[in-house]
Structure 1
Amino acid sequence: MTLQRKLSIVVAGLAVVASVAGFTHGKPQWQLSDTGTTARFRGLAPVSDRVAWVAGSAGTILRTTDGGRSWQSVGPADAAELQFRDIEAFDARTATALTIGNGTDSRLYATTDGGRSWTETFRNEDPNAFYDCVTFLDRRHGLALSDPVDGKFRILATSDGGRTWSVRSPAGMPAALAGEFAFAASGTCLVSAAGQAWFATGGGAASRVFSSTDGGRTWTATATPIPSGPSAGIYSLAFRDRTHGLAVGGDYAVPDAAPAGAAYLRGRTWTVARTVPGEYRSGAAWIGHGPAALAVGPTGSDLSLDAGRTWKRFDTGSFDAVRCAHDGACWASGEQGRVAKLRRH
């Protein structure tokens, strides 16, 4: 083994230790930020400890560049009647945001100047399509997910950073189950990591996770043990890499009961957590590159220190979405303008 390889293993080990050690000396806490609005923020895109974007109801998009001490309203002027459910940001200036709804209510907007101006880059003209989530595999390549059209989930793709989008051929998509769809609850029904993409479903006879290794051209569907039903299934995915995944969900109509509402990827198999949050959760996120992870929902927040095998409640406040930036800063957002950053000590 080369010296460089040995050093990389040591560094990775130290990162894992640090990610867990940050929670061993005190209870993690959400530090709420005054956003000055009552919009519901299901779209969340943290860039760092200082920079984050949120997107939500009534066409509202906010941005902070000072760690949440102040927020600027930067949403598109023509989107006041629309509902943002996802936003992806690369830095303080560059972001893509998704609105949801049947037909033309599903749109994508892009900005490269911090929200001072937006360009509508896609407007859905198919009355049968309903877009739920968007993700970027890198700065150029992105995907957006629609509920099934003609019996198959629909994928929209970009190869120019979100400036233009086109519908992928359905040939590589497995057939949807009867009643199957995706949940536009936190912008994390479609996610990506290490060049691979995944999306999660519910509504049908089984909740499933679809995966693609070729930029969304072909997909493989895997059933999971998380219960599915008319309003139940997987609401959020989080992947640290291709082999470490988390899935959380439940039934939003019964938010205080989800006995098998969290699972983790073990090889190619999804396994229900030994200790689950026990209630509906709409968002999940890895903290850095170690085994620590977060889950949130309208009845509270949970922490896992063992890659999703066990979860423990640490907060009872309501959040819809949670995501962590590359520098380890974790943010959450939800109803009544609630946005918070995680304090580890």
Structure 2
Amino acid sequence: MKILLLAAVAASLLVVAPAGAAPETRWELRPTGVDARLRGLSAVDARVAWVSGSKGTVLRTTDGGRSWASVAPPGTEALDFRDVEAFDARNAVVLSIGPGDSSRIYRTSDGGRTWAQTFANPEPDAFYDCVAFFDRFRGLAMGDPVGGRFRVLVTRDGGRSWRRVPEENLPPASDGEFGFAASGQCLTTAGSRDAWIATGGGARARVLHSGDGGWRWTASDTPLLSSPSAGVFAVAFRTPRQGVAVGGDYADPAGAVANLALSGDGGRTWRAPSQAPVGYRSGVAWRGGSVVAVGPGGSDLSRDGGRHWRQFDQGSFDTVDCPSTCWAAGEKGRVGVLTGG
């Protein structure tokens, strides 16, 4: 295992706030020593996190980001690992994207010292985007439509084997509809049975929902903009009922377009809040009753469940995860930990 960065730099200087003032919300950077674009992120806690991305990159930290180990499967330098799901410091699953057998899933149970390839896409026209788990054993992976239907894989053994959901169990895809592999968050779960898929590209930006662990799915429209470069890029649920969807247009990242919607009924209906972030956002996560959204144009925080927002950072991130401590990752190996939030 190669250690890329050891005790990189001292933490940023603390800003002393006036007595009684709330601490400043900001990202404290955790240098990784790589220049890959890190679109995959799975934070276990304040100390353990995994990130993945371009150039076959998979990194792991066990000391809060002070040092990072390169733990990618050998011989995968040409792959783009757009998603990673970690259960702890030793067990994780990574997904690479692309047409045909470029879409693969690998699993490790020893912190990345060794990996087993557990899925290779057999369909030349299929393209897998995201992976998510209900618990340590039950998980899903989703891919773009082939023959008018999305692809969904199911695992019941922690990613050691995968089975495809029958095509007829998924609603027909609209013309041009697909998922965005921008943040590893186009697929999410909440509770033991509910899962959601974010889509765009077609006439409407939709969210697909399954209430039975991924076997059967229904679709709902959202108010987000949809086009070949726009749609729902990420979806997150605090509970099986309370959710948020973010997106926009990556071709117009600063455009003032419909880029966020809220659901209070498990994704059956979606509504735009009266005030939302401005510009394209590719990642979103709940932290208690607060929500953090990120994108190449900045980061935003809502303290009231997504109804009102304020931008607190203008740096570029693609994805965010908040098991307790919030982590974010993005271009040029950029990783940050939220402080004062």
Contact kept? 1:251, 1:258, Cα under 8 Å: no
- What letter matches 1:269 in structure 2? T
Aligned position for 2:328? 332
Describe the SS at the equivalent of 2:168. Answer: helix
Aligned position for 1:20? none
From 219, 229, 237, the equivalent of 1:221 is 219
For residues 167-186 of structure 1, the aligned pairs below 5 Å read: 167-186=164-183
- Are residues 1:137 and 2:134 paired? yes
For residues 31-110 of structure 1, the aligned pairs below 5 Å read: 31-110=28-107
From 2, 20, 26, the equivalent of 1:29 is 26
- What letter matches 1:55 in structure 2? S
Moved over 4 A (4+): none
From 172, 190, 193, the equivalent of 1:193 is 190
Structure 1 residues 6-33: Cα deviation after superposition (integer angstroms, max 9, x where no partner): xxxxxxxxxxxxxxxxxx7133110001
- What letter matches 1:106 in structure 2? S
Post-superposition offset of 1:266: 3.0
Aligned counterparts of 2:130 and 2:309: Cα–Cα separation in 1? 26
Gaps of 5+ in 2: 1-20
Deviates more, 1:265-274 or 1:164-173: 265-274
Aligned counterparts of 1:272 and 1:92: Cα–Cα separation in 2? 38
TM-score normalised by L of structure 1: 0.91
Residues 234 and 258 (structure 1), Cα distance of their counterparts in 2 relative to 1, 3 Å cut: farther
Structure 1 residues 81-120: Cα deviation after superposition (integer angstroms, max 9, x where no partner): 0000000000000000000000010000000000001110
From 312, 321, 324, the equivalent of 1:323 is 321
Aligned counterparts of 1:48 and 1:342: Cα–Cα separation in 2? 12
Aligned counterparts of 2:58 and 2:143: Cα–Cα separation in 1? 22
Aligned position for 1:276? 276
Structure 1 residues 101-157: Cα deviation after superposition (integer angstroms, max 9, x where no partner): 000100000000000011100000101110000001111111100100110101011
Aligned counterparts of 1:266 and 1:125: Cα–Cα separation in 2? 38
- What letter matches 2:54 in structure 1? S
Deviates more, 1:83-92 or 1:213-222: 213-222
Describe the SS at the equivalent of 2:327. Answer: strand
Aligned counterparts of 2:269 and 2:340: Cα–Cα separation in 1? 31
TM-score normalised by L of structure 2: 0.92
Describe the SS at the equivalent of 2:332. Answer: helix
Aligned position for 1:149? 146
Aligned position for 1:294? 292
Contact kept? 1:140, 1:160, Cα under 8 Å: yes
Contact kept? 1:263, 1:309, Cα under 8 Å: no
Aligned position for 1:343? 339
Contact kept? 1:198, 1:210, Cα under 8 Å: yes
Aligned counterparts of 2:339 and 2:56: Cα–Cα separation in 1? 29
Gaps of 5+ in 1: 1-23
Report which structure shows greater RCO (CA 8 Å, sep ≥6): 1
Aligned counterparts of 1:310 and 1:260: Cα–Cα separation in 2? 14
Describe the SS at the equivalent of 2:41. Answer: strand
Post-superposition offset of 1:306: 1.0
Q: Higher helix fraction: Structure 1 or Structure 2?
A: 1
From 125, 128, 131, the equivalent of 1:128 is 125
Contact kept? 1:259, 1:276, Cα under 8 Å: no
Structure 1 residues 169-203: Cα deviation after superposition (integer angstroms, max 9, x where no partner): 11211100000000000000000011210011000
Describe the SS at the equivalent of 2:271. Answer: strand
Aligned position for 1:115? 112
